[in-house]
Chains A and B, each alone.
Chain A
Amino acid sequence: MNENDIKQLWQKSNEKLEVVLRENKINTEDITKLKVQNLLSSMKPIKAFTLIIGLIWVIGLGSFLAILTVFHFEKVSIFFLFSAFTQVLLTAVAIVVYIYQIHLINKIDFSEPVLTMQKKVSELKISTLNVTRLLFLQLPLWTTFYLNEKMFVVENWILLLLQFVISISFTFVAVWLFFNIKHENQNSKWFQFIISGKEWQPILHSAEILYQIEQFDKYE
Protein backbone atom coordinates (compact mmCIF):
# COMPACT_ATOMS: atom_id res chain seq x y z
CA MET A 1 0.00 0.00 0.00
CA ASN A 2 1.56 3.29 -1.09
CA GLU A 3 0.89 6.93 -0.22
CA ASN A 4 -1.73 7.39 -2.96
CA ASP A 5 -3.58 4.24 -1.97
CA ILE A 6 -3.84 5.53 1.58
CA LYS A 7 -5.13 8.90 0.35
CA GLN A 8 -7.67 7.22 -1.92
CA LEU A 9 -8.85 5.02 0.89
CA TRP A 10 -9.39 8.08 3.08
CA GLN A 11 -11.23 9.92 0.29
CA LYS A 12 -13.44 6.92 -0.26
CA SER A 13 -14.48 6.90 3.37
CA ASN A 14 -15.09 10.66 3.20
CA GLU A 15 -17.41 10.28 0.23
CA LYS A 16 -19.47 7.85 2.24
CA LEU A 17 -19.42 10.13 5.23
CA GLU A 18 -20.72 13.03 3.13
CA VAL A 19 -23.60 10.90 1.90
CA VAL A 20 -24.59 9.98 5.43
CA LEU A 21 -24.25 13.53 6.73
CA ARG A 22 -26.29 15.02 3.90
CA GLU A 23 -29.22 12.92 5.02
CA ASN A 24 -29.03 14.19 8.57
CA LYS A 25 -29.54 17.64 9.95
CA ILE A 26 -28.04 18.55 13.29
CA ASN A 27 -30.21 20.49 15.63
CA THR A 28 -27.85 23.42 16.13
CA GLU A 29 -30.53 25.40 17.95
CA ASP A 30 -30.09 23.12 20.96
CA ILE A 31 -26.37 23.83 21.05
CA THR A 32 -26.84 27.59 20.97
CA LYS A 33 -29.26 27.29 23.88
CA LEU A 34 -26.66 25.61 26.04
CA LYS A 35 -25.59 28.02 28.73
CA VAL A 36 -22.06 29.29 28.36
CA GLN A 37 -20.29 27.62 31.24
CA ASN A 38 -19.36 29.70 34.22
CA LEU A 39 -16.46 28.85 36.48
CA LEU A 40 -18.43 26.83 39.00
CA SER A 41 -20.60 24.90 36.55
CA SER A 42 -17.53 23.96 34.52
CA MET A 43 -16.13 22.11 37.53
CA LYS A 44 -16.97 18.61 38.59
CA PRO A 45 -19.41 18.69 41.54
CA ILE A 46 -16.85 17.07 43.84
CA LYS A 47 -14.30 19.79 43.04
CA ALA A 48 -16.85 22.58 43.46
CA PHE A 49 -17.91 21.02 46.80
CA THR A 50 -14.28 20.76 47.97
CA LEU A 51 -13.70 24.38 46.98
CA ILE A 52 -16.76 25.57 48.91
CA ILE A 53 -15.76 23.53 52.01
CA GLY A 54 -12.24 24.99 51.72
CA LEU A 55 -13.62 28.54 51.58
CA ILE A 56 -15.87 27.92 54.60
CA TRP A 57 -12.88 26.43 56.47
CA VAL A 58 -10.62 29.42 55.68
CA ILE A 59 -13.24 32.04 56.51
CA GLY A 60 -14.56 30.21 59.61
CA LEU A 61 -11.25 29.16 61.13
CA GLY A 62 -9.57 32.39 60.05
CA SER A 63 -12.21 34.50 61.84
CA PHE A 64 -12.07 32.27 64.92
CA LEU A 65 -8.28 32.60 65.10
CA ALA A 66 -8.45 36.36 64.61
CA ILE A 67 -10.88 36.65 67.55
CA LEU A 68 -8.65 34.41 69.71
CA THR A 69 -5.57 36.47 68.87
CA VAL A 70 -7.20 39.82 69.52
CA PHE A 71 -9.18 39.00 72.68
CA HIS A 72 -7.55 35.94 74.32
CA PHE A 73 -3.94 35.99 73.17
CA GLU A 74 -2.47 35.25 76.65
CA LYS A 75 -4.69 32.23 77.21
CA VAL A 76 -3.96 30.45 73.92
CA SER A 77 -0.92 28.31 73.11
CA ILE A 78 1.44 30.02 70.71
CA PHE A 79 1.99 26.61 69.01
CA PHE A 80 -1.72 26.33 68.31
CA LEU A 81 -1.96 29.88 66.95
CA PHE A 82 1.10 29.51 64.74
CA SER A 83 0.06 26.07 63.38
CA ALA A 84 -3.56 27.05 62.76
CA PHE A 85 -2.74 30.42 61.19
CA THR A 86 -0.15 28.88 58.86
CA GLN A 87 -2.57 26.10 57.91
CA VAL A 88 -5.32 28.64 57.11
CA LEU A 89 -2.86 30.78 55.17
CA LEU A 90 -1.62 27.84 53.06
CA THR A 91 -5.20 26.70 52.38
CA ALA A 92 -6.19 30.25 51.39
CA VAL A 93 -3.22 30.58 49.02
CA ALA A 94 -4.01 27.16 47.51
CA ILE A 95 -7.66 28.18 46.93
CA VAL A 96 -6.70 31.49 45.30
CA VAL A 97 -4.13 29.78 43.05
CA TYR A 98 -6.66 27.07 42.12
CA ILE A 99 -9.44 29.54 41.26
CA TYR A 100 -7.03 31.67 39.24
CA GLN A 101 -5.79 28.64 37.29
CA ILE A 102 -9.31 27.40 36.55
CA HIS A 103 -10.20 30.91 35.42
CA LEU A 104 -7.19 30.99 33.07
CA ILE A 105 -8.03 27.53 31.68
CA ASN A 106 -11.61 28.62 30.99
CA LYS A 107 -10.38 31.75 29.19
CA ILE A 108 -8.19 29.86 26.74
CA ASP A 109 -8.85 30.60 23.09
CA PHE A 110 -9.52 27.34 21.23
CA SER A 111 -8.99 28.99 17.85
CA GLU A 112 -5.29 29.49 18.52
CA PRO A 113 -2.87 27.31 16.53
CA VAL A 114 -2.92 23.74 17.82
CA LEU A 115 0.56 23.45 19.34
CA THR A 116 0.41 26.92 20.92
CA MET A 117 -2.96 26.29 22.53
CA GLN A 118 -2.18 22.74 23.62
CA LYS A 119 1.08 23.81 25.25
CA LYS A 120 -0.67 26.62 27.09
CA VAL A 121 -3.60 24.54 28.32
CA SER A 122 -1.43 21.55 29.27
CA GLU A 123 0.97 23.69 31.28
CA LEU A 124 -1.93 25.37 33.03
CA LYS A 125 -3.67 22.10 33.88
CA ILE A 126 -0.45 20.58 35.13
CA SER A 127 0.20 23.67 37.24
CA THR A 128 -2.87 22.75 39.31
CA LEU A 129 -0.42 20.25 40.85
CA ASN A 130 1.05 23.30 42.60
CA VAL A 131 -2.08 23.41 44.72
CA THR A 132 -1.40 19.85 45.89
CA ARG A 133 2.22 20.74 46.62
CA LEU A 134 1.11 23.70 48.72
CA LEU A 135 -1.39 21.59 50.62
CA PHE A 136 1.26 18.98 51.44
CA LEU A 137 3.30 21.73 53.12
CA GLN A 138 0.67 21.69 55.87
CA LEU A 139 1.70 18.22 56.99
CA PRO A 140 4.07 19.19 59.88
CA LEU A 141 1.53 21.68 61.24
CA TRP A 142 -0.75 18.77 62.19
CA THR A 143 2.03 17.58 64.54
CA THR A 144 2.51 20.89 66.38
CA PHE A 145 -0.90 22.52 66.93
CA TYR A 146 -1.56 20.60 70.19
CA LEU A 147 1.76 21.53 71.84
CA ASN A 148 2.00 24.04 74.68
CA GLU A 149 4.78 25.60 76.76
CA LYS A 150 4.04 23.44 79.84
CA MET A 151 4.98 20.28 77.93
CA PHE A 152 8.60 21.40 77.59
CA VAL A 153 9.98 20.00 80.85
CA VAL A 154 12.81 17.53 81.40
CA GLU A 155 10.45 14.85 82.74
CA ASN A 156 8.78 14.68 79.34
CA TRP A 157 11.99 13.96 77.42
CA ILE A 158 10.79 10.69 75.90
CA LEU A 159 7.58 12.28 74.72
CA LEU A 160 9.47 15.31 73.44
CA LEU A 161 11.97 13.15 71.61
CA LEU A 162 9.15 11.26 69.95
CA GLN A 163 7.46 14.55 69.11
CA PHE A 164 10.70 15.86 67.59
CA VAL A 165 11.15 12.76 65.42
CA ILE A 166 7.54 12.91 64.20
CA SER A 167 7.64 16.64 63.41
CA ILE A 168 10.99 16.40 61.63
CA SER A 169 9.80 13.39 59.59
CA PHE A 170 6.60 15.17 58.58
CA THR A 171 8.59 18.28 57.65
CA PHE A 172 11.01 16.25 55.57
CA VAL A 173 8.17 14.45 53.73
CA ALA A 174 6.29 17.74 53.15
CA VAL A 175 9.32 19.57 51.76
CA TRP A 176 10.36 16.57 49.67
CA LEU A 177 6.87 16.27 48.16
CA PHE A 178 6.74 20.03 47.60
CA PHE A 179 9.85 19.88 45.43
CA ASN A 180 9.14 16.53 43.76
CA ILE A 181 5.46 16.61 42.84
CA LYS A 182 5.91 17.64 39.21
CA HIS A 183 4.84 16.08 35.94
CA GLU A 184 8.39 14.97 35.14
CA ASN A 185 8.04 12.41 37.93
CA GLN A 186 4.73 11.03 36.74
CA ASN A 187 6.18 7.62 35.95
CA SER A 188 7.53 7.09 39.48
CA LYS A 189 5.66 4.64 41.64
CA TRP A 190 5.35 7.05 44.57
CA PHE A 191 3.87 9.70 42.22
CA GLN A 192 1.33 7.25 40.83
CA PHE A 193 0.46 6.18 44.37
CA ILE A 194 -0.29 9.76 45.48
CA ILE A 195 -1.68 11.11 42.21
CA SER A 196 -4.06 8.31 41.34
CA GLY A 197 -7.79 8.07 40.79
CA LYS A 198 -10.18 9.54 38.26
CA GLU A 199 -9.81 13.12 39.46
CA TRP A 200 -6.18 13.20 38.39
CA GLN A 201 -6.65 11.68 34.94
CA PRO A 202 -7.13 15.01 33.07
CA ILE A 203 -3.84 16.27 34.55
CA LEU A 204 -2.04 13.08 33.52
CA HIS A 205 -3.62 13.41 30.06
CA SER A 206 -2.25 16.98 29.86
CA ALA A 207 1.17 15.80 30.99
CA GLU A 208 1.14 13.24 28.20
CA ILE A 209 0.24 15.89 25.60
CA LEU A 210 2.96 18.19 26.90
CA TYR A 211 5.46 15.35 26.67
CA GLN A 212 4.41 14.72 23.06
CA ILE A 213 4.83 18.43 22.23
CA GLU A 214 8.26 18.48 23.88
CA GLN A 215 9.30 15.41 21.86
CA PHE A 216 7.87 17.01 18.74
CA ASP A 217 9.87 20.23 19.32
CA LYS A 218 13.02 18.26 20.10
CA TYR A 219 13.25 16.88 16.58
CA GLU A 220 12.38 20.12 14.79
Chain B
Amino acid sequence: MINDDELRKKFEQIIEQHKGILYKVARTYCQNDDDRQDLVQEIMIQIWKSLHTYNNSFALSTWLFRISLNVAISFYRKNEHRKKNTIPLPEELEIMYVEESNEKQEMLSLLDMFISELNHIDKALILLYLEEKSYAEIAEIMAISITNVGTKLGRIKEKLKSKFLKLHL
Protein backbone atom coordinates (compact mmCIF):
# COMPACT_ATOMS: atom_id res chain seq x y z
CA MET B 1 0.00 0.00 0.00
CA ILE B 2 1.45 3.34 -1.06
CA ASN B 3 1.52 6.01 1.65
CA ASP B 4 0.61 9.68 1.35
CA ASP B 5 4.18 10.92 1.09
CA GLU B 6 5.01 8.47 -1.68
CA LEU B 7 1.79 9.40 -3.47
CA ARG B 8 2.64 13.09 -3.21
CA LYS B 9 6.15 12.47 -4.59
CA LYS B 10 4.69 10.44 -7.44
CA PHE B 11 2.19 13.22 -8.15
CA GLU B 12 4.89 15.91 -8.18
CA GLN B 13 7.02 13.80 -10.47
CA ILE B 14 4.14 13.22 -12.91
CA ILE B 15 3.19 16.91 -12.98
CA GLU B 16 6.80 17.99 -13.41
CA GLN B 17 7.44 15.58 -16.28
CA HIS B 18 4.10 15.90 -18.05
CA LYS B 19 2.85 19.40 -17.30
CA GLY B 20 3.12 20.14 -21.02
CA ILE B 21 0.08 17.86 -21.62
CA LEU B 22 -1.99 19.87 -19.13
CA TYR B 23 -1.09 23.19 -20.73
CA LYS B 24 -1.63 21.98 -24.26
CA VAL B 25 -5.09 20.71 -23.36
CA ALA B 26 -5.86 23.98 -21.55
CA ARG B 27 -4.62 25.95 -24.54
CA THR B 28 -6.89 23.95 -26.84
CA TYR B 29 -10.02 24.35 -24.73
CA CYS B 30 -9.70 27.81 -23.18
CA GLN B 31 -9.28 31.12 -24.89
CA ASN B 32 -8.28 33.32 -21.98
CA ASP B 33 -5.54 33.03 -19.39
CA ASP B 34 -7.81 32.99 -16.34
CA ASP B 35 -9.83 30.08 -17.66
CA ARG B 36 -6.63 28.29 -18.71
CA GLN B 37 -5.18 28.59 -15.23
CA ASP B 38 -8.41 27.40 -13.68
CA LEU B 39 -8.57 24.46 -16.04
CA VAL B 40 -4.95 23.43 -15.42
CA GLN B 41 -5.67 23.47 -11.72
CA GLU B 42 -8.88 21.46 -12.15
CA ILE B 43 -6.91 18.88 -14.13
CA MET B 44 -4.22 18.70 -11.45
CA ILE B 45 -6.85 18.19 -8.75
CA GLN B 46 -8.44 15.38 -10.73
CA ILE B 47 -5.03 13.75 -11.35
CA TRP B 48 -4.35 13.91 -7.61
CA LYS B 49 -7.75 12.40 -6.84
CA SER B 50 -7.34 9.63 -9.44
CA LEU B 51 -3.71 8.82 -8.76
CA HIS B 52 -4.40 5.83 -6.50
CA THR B 53 -6.37 4.19 -9.34
CA TYR B 54 -3.56 4.40 -11.89
CA ASN B 55 -2.20 1.06 -13.07
CA ASN B 56 0.52 0.27 -15.55
CA SER B 57 -1.80 -1.29 -18.10
CA PHE B 58 -1.90 2.10 -19.82
CA ALA B 59 0.92 4.40 -20.79
CA LEU B 60 1.09 7.29 -18.34
CA SER B 61 0.55 9.78 -21.17
CA THR B 62 -2.62 7.93 -22.26
CA TRP B 63 -3.94 8.13 -18.68
CA LEU B 64 -3.03 11.81 -18.41
CA PHE B 65 -4.61 12.70 -21.75
CA ARG B 66 -7.81 10.91 -20.73
CA ILE B 67 -8.06 12.81 -17.45
CA SER B 68 -7.04 16.16 -18.95
CA LEU B 69 -9.46 15.89 -21.87
CA ASN B 70 -12.30 14.66 -19.68
CA VAL B 71 -11.83 17.56 -17.27
CA ALA B 72 -11.50 20.04 -20.15
CA ILE B 73 -14.66 18.88 -21.91
CA SER B 74 -16.67 18.83 -18.67
CA PHE B 75 -15.13 22.11 -17.50
CA TYR B 76 -17.82 24.67 -17.26
CA ARG B 77 -16.56 28.19 -16.64
CA LYS B 78 -15.33 29.27 -13.27
CA ASN B 79 -17.72 30.27 -10.58
CA GLU B 80 -17.35 32.23 -7.39
CA HIS B 81 -17.55 29.12 -5.20
CA ARG B 82 -14.73 27.35 -7.04
CA LYS B 83 -12.69 30.52 -7.25
CA LYS B 84 -12.52 30.63 -3.46
CA ASN B 85 -10.97 27.15 -3.47
CA THR B 86 -8.32 27.81 -6.08
CA ILE B 87 -4.66 28.54 -5.58
CA PRO B 88 -3.13 31.18 -7.82
CA LEU B 89 -0.52 29.69 -10.14
CA PRO B 90 2.72 31.57 -10.79
CA GLU B 91 1.99 34.58 -12.96
CA GLU B 92 4.71 33.73 -15.45
CA LEU B 93 2.72 30.69 -16.50
CA GLU B 94 0.26 33.00 -18.15
CA ILE B 95 2.81 33.68 -20.81
CA MET B 96 2.15 30.87 -23.20
CA TYR B 97 3.98 32.37 -26.14
CA VAL B 98 7.34 34.06 -26.36
CA GLU B 99 8.24 36.64 -28.98
CA GLU B 100 7.93 35.43 -32.55
CA SER B 101 7.82 37.02 -35.95
CA ASN B 102 4.53 38.75 -36.70
CA GLU B 103 3.68 36.40 -39.53
CA LYS B 104 4.32 33.23 -37.51
CA GLN B 105 2.48 34.73 -34.55
CA GLU B 106 -0.47 35.50 -36.77
CA MET B 107 -0.52 31.95 -38.16
CA LEU B 108 -0.39 30.54 -34.64
CA SER B 109 -3.28 32.73 -33.56
CA LEU B 110 -5.25 31.61 -36.60
CA LEU B 111 -4.55 27.95 -35.88
CA ASP B 112 -5.69 28.44 -32.27
CA MET B 113 -8.79 30.27 -33.45
CA PHE B 114 -9.72 27.58 -35.99
CA ILE B 115 -9.21 24.83 -33.42
CA SER B 116 -11.32 26.76 -30.90
CA GLU B 117 -14.17 26.76 -33.43
CA LEU B 118 -14.26 22.95 -33.52
CA ASN B 119 -16.65 21.06 -31.25
CA HIS B 120 -15.42 19.48 -28.00
CA ILE B 121 -14.80 16.01 -29.44
CA ASP B 122 -13.09 17.23 -32.61
CA LYS B 123 -10.81 19.45 -30.53
CA ALA B 124 -9.66 16.39 -28.57
CA LEU B 125 -8.99 14.44 -31.77
CA ILE B 126 -6.99 17.17 -33.49
CA LEU B 127 -4.98 17.85 -30.33
CA LEU B 128 -3.99 14.17 -30.08
CA TYR B 129 -3.17 14.13 -33.78
CA LEU B 130 -1.02 17.25 -33.56
CA GLU B 131 0.70 15.73 -30.54
CA GLU B 132 1.71 12.90 -32.88
CA LYS B 133 -0.23 10.19 -31.11
CA SER B 134 -0.71 7.07 -33.21
CA TYR B 135 -4.22 6.15 -34.38
CA ALA B 136 -4.13 3.20 -31.95
CA GLU B 137 -3.31 5.51 -29.03
CA ILE B 138 -5.99 8.00 -30.06
CA ALA B 139 -8.49 5.15 -30.28
CA GLU B 140 -7.51 4.01 -26.77
CA ILE B 141 -7.81 7.51 -25.30
CA MET B 142 -11.12 8.29 -26.98
CA ALA B 143 -12.82 4.85 -27.02
CA ILE B 144 -13.43 4.76 -30.78
CA SER B 145 -12.22 2.38 -33.48
CA ILE B 146 -8.92 2.97 -35.26
CA THR B 147 -10.74 3.21 -38.61
CA ASN B 148 -13.02 5.84 -37.19
CA VAL B 149 -10.03 7.86 -35.93
CA GLY B 150 -8.76 8.02 -39.51
CA THR B 151 -12.12 9.03 -40.95
CA LYS B 152 -12.83 11.70 -38.37
CA LEU B 153 -9.32 13.14 -38.51
CA GLY B 154 -9.50 13.31 -42.29
CA ARG B 155 -12.64 15.47 -42.02
CA ILE B 156 -11.20 17.73 -39.32
CA LYS B 157 -7.96 18.28 -41.26
CA GLU B 158 -9.97 19.19 -44.36
CA LYS B 159 -11.98 21.64 -42.30
CA LEU B 160 -8.83 23.32 -40.97
CA LYS B 161 -7.17 23.43 -44.38
CA SER B 162 -10.21 25.00 -46.00
CA LYS B 163 -10.30 27.67 -43.31
CA PHE B 164 -6.68 28.60 -44.06
CA LEU B 165 -7.44 28.44 -47.78
CA LYS B 166 -10.29 30.90 -47.45
CA LEU B 167 -7.74 33.38 -46.13
CA HIS B 168 -5.44 32.51 -49.07
CA LEU B 169 -2.88 30.95 -46.72
- Select B23's contact among A17, A28, A115, A219, beta carbons within 8 Å: A17
Main secondary structure of the interface of A (DSSP, over half): helix
Q: B145 touching A220 by the CB < 8 A rule?
A: yes
Interface flag for A197 (CB, 8 Å)? no
Q: With A26-B89, A28-B15 in contact, is A1–B70 under 8 Å at CB?
A: no
Residues of B46-104 contacting chain A, CB below 8 A: 46, 48-50, 53-54, 63, 66-67, 69-71, 73-74, 76-77, 79, 81, 85, 87, 89-90, 92-93, 95-98, 100, 104
Shortest Cβ distance from A208 into B: residue = B120
- Select A16's contact among B44, B81, B97, B143, beta carbons within 8 Å: B97
Residues of B1-45 contacting chain A, CB below 8 A: 7-8, 11-12, 15-16, 19-20, 23-24, 27, 41, 44-45
Main secondary structure of the interface of B (DSSP, over half): helix
Least Cβ distance of A33 to chain B in Å?
9
Interface flag for B136 (CB, 8 Å)? no
Q: B66 touching A110 by the CB < 8 A rule?
A: yes
Residues of A within 8 A of B74 (CB): 118, 121, 209
Per-position binary interface string of chain B over residues 154-167, scored 1 when its CB falls under 8 Å from any chain A CB and 0 otherwise: 00010011001100
Q: With A1-B169, A14-B20 in contact, is A112–B121 under 8 Å at CB?
A: no
Can you pick out 25 interface pairs between chain A and chain B where the beta carbons lie within 8 Å of each other?
Answer: A3-B161, A6-B130, A6-B157, A6-B164, A10-B111, A13-B111, A14-B24, A17-B24, A19-B98, A25-B90, A26-B89, A28-B11, A28-B44, A29-B8, A31-B44, A36-B49, A44-B79, A109-B53, A110-B46, A111-B70, A114-B66, A114-B69, A114-B124, A212-B121, A213-B121
